[in-house]
Structure 1
């Protein structure tokens, strides 16, 4: 990487040219490689497998999960809508994982909200990247009878990850265009979502990695069942899960017990044969 852009220029001022080339987190490349390999993003950085949209297996799981979380039949979430929004708004897998954390919190904190919101709007709101100037004391706007859910989820998750001024930020009018929702409606959905969350958006990194591990196992199981066989990566992912480890441990214990029984039976039969031969010779 060229560091000259980070030094003082001829006029003595500090230049930020090339500053975005720094990788601030030491594990960034390792995490990116893990996501590409285990969530089926592929390795061609120039083609359609960038981390700026959801992979097909992740989109399938998102649709299934959100349809269960928000069972309203109005504006029921479809994979085509998820693919369109993730492509237009450049939804990252990290934003999707953060949205899954928010869904789990809503299930425990405010389950009634999930019963009155549509899965499509929840998906969109959870990924917003640019914060609205909303005061916690402001009166919550009236929500429609079936507000969409997918939009608010993605909106809020992206705003949490990419604050104002970042290159990846997306404004509400852009989210509205991507999701086919009017900006005033989108703003109302966002305020309603934040109110339902009680503004509890902070997420510990350990929660993200727990969701990542769960998502990896879901993708591995789903893709393995579809193909009828599992790749080496799929097996590695599944064997990291406690349930699979317990099942494998139980299987190994049974095999060891069976081997011991067979060994004892074999030794006993050999000893019996030797004893029989000895008795015959003595007689």
Structure 2
């Protein structure tokens, strides 16, 4: 009996859905598959005499789609490796030989799906010796390379599914979900590469945004610090002969009841800024001014007008 593993059952369900089997037995070929074989030889072979009935006969209804897929892989392998031999051979003989080899490769003897030599003779109306010659010549042309990888089988199956879906769309004008899935199989690698490219672009954009945010944050912090420093500049009262000792908050004059009658130089304020250093005359104290003396102390008062800081004595 043919293998009945879970993977084989899933494959049969896929073939039944994508190759339009429906409720039909899956051990025969449908009309789209038979037409595909005919169009294959019409396109690649100069001899256009592969009969559709011969392709559809499928040896008494015992050739399943798995055997057909393997046979098509062998035919394509022969066409690529030895194009002259492929073009010079009879399409009926090539097709029959590829089916025989595919059936023997997939199924062991004494199984339900295995076809004996008498079955091939009865269906093809060719003698046993001729069938043996066709099979042997096909093996030599393939160089006995009959192994089929899983990726190669999957690629061939997807090609057949796309053909069936396209044919169904042309005939009925209706695209089912299975047909759309089959037609999109070619675009899956493209979508995968696009997904990787978009992921890489998103990563680069995120890294650029992070660097830009850190740079802007650092710049704004530095600007804020510079602004605070510029608004808190020190202003020094330039007066070497003024008879008061000034500290940061007040100026205490010498106590005592006496009049101060001295010439005071003009008080100048040195203003420091970030871009230039100037000596600007902010406020003048007239010369020969007599300051009244009280029991208390003279207080240096700081008035802030706009951006200029003025120092004046309030007694």
TM-score scaled by length of structure 2: 0.57
Q: Which of 107, 110, 123 is residue 162 of structure 1 equivalent to? A: 107
> Does residue 242 of structure 1 match 2:187?
yes
Which of 113, 137, 149 does residue 85 from structure 2 map onto? 113
1:69 aligns to what? Answer: 44
CA contact (8 A) 2:59 2:124 kept: no
Provide the C-alpha distance between the structure 2 equivalents of 1:237 and 1:153, rounded to a whole number of angstroms: 26
Mapping for residues 136-155 of structure 1, pairs under 5 Å: 150-155=95-100
Counterparts of 1:21-40 in structure 2 under 5 Å?
23=4, 25-40=5-20
How far residue 52 of structure 1 moved from its aligned partner, in angstroms, is 0.9
Flag the structure with more relative contact order, 1 or 2, with Cα contacts below 8 A and sequence separation at least 6: 1
Number of matched residues? 193
**Could you tell me which residue of structure 1 aligns to residue 207 of structure 2?**
none
Task: Give, in whole Å, the separation in 2 of the partners of 1:50 and 1:112.
Answer: 38
CA distance in 2, matches of 1:95, 1:22: 14
Do 1:53 and 1:91's aligned partners in 2 also have CA atoms closer than 8 Å?
A: yes
Counterparts of 1:116 and 1:21 in 2: how far apart (Å)?
36
Listed as ranges, the matches of 1:181-196 within 5 Å are 181-196=126-141
Q: Which runs of 4+ in 1 moved over 6 A?
A: 243-246
Deviation at 1:243, TM superposition (A): 8.1
2-structure distance, mates of 1:211, 1:111: 19
Confirm or deny that 1:78 pairs with 2:51.
yes
The 1:186/1:31 distance shift into structure 2, 3 A limit, reads same
2:54 corresponds to 1:52: no
Q: Supply the distance in 2 between the matched residues of 1:193 and 1:201 (Cα, whole angstroms).
A: 11
More helix per residue: 1 or 2? 1
Separation in 2 of the partners of 1:69 and 1:217? 19
Deviation at 1:21, TM superposition (A): 9.2
Residue deviations 1:190-211 (CA, integer Å, cap 9, x gap): 1111111111111112211111
Which stretch of structure 1 is more off in the superposition, 157-166 or 32-41?
157-166
User: Unaligned regions of 5+ residues in structure 1, if any?
Assistant: 1-19, 123-149, 250-283
**Structure 2 unpaired stretches of 5+:** 195-315
Report the structure, 1 or 2, having the larger strand content.
2
* CA offsets 1:164-217 (integer angstroms, 9 cap, x no match): 232322122210211121211111111111111111111112211111111111
- How big is the shift at 1:87? 5.2
For the pair shown, the structure with the greater C-alpha radius of gyration is 2
Q: Judge conservation of contact 1:89–1:175 (CA < 8 Å) in 2.
A: no
Aligned with residue 103 of structure 1, among 49, 55, 75 = 75
CA distance in 2 between counterparts of 1:244 and 1:207 reads 16
The answer to whether the 8 Å contact 2:34/2:55 transfers is yes
SS at match of 2:6: coil
In 1, distance between residues paired with 2:156 and 2:71?
Answer: 10
> Are residues 244 and 21 of structure 1, via their aligned partners in 2, closer, same or farther at CA, if it must alter by over 3 Å?
closer
How far apart, CA to CA, are the structure 1 residues paired with 2:160 and 2:3? 28
> Quick one: distance in 2 between partners of 1:182 and 1:95?
22
* 1:33 positional shift: 0.8
Matches of 2:43 and 2:73 in 1, distance apart? 15
- Which residue in 2 is equivalent to 1:215? 160
Between the aligned partners of 1:59 and 1:22, the Cα distance in structure 2 is 25
Asked whether the equivalents of residues 89 and 170 of structure 1 are also in contact (C-alpha less than 8 Å), the reply is: no
Q: CA RMSD in A?
A: 2.3
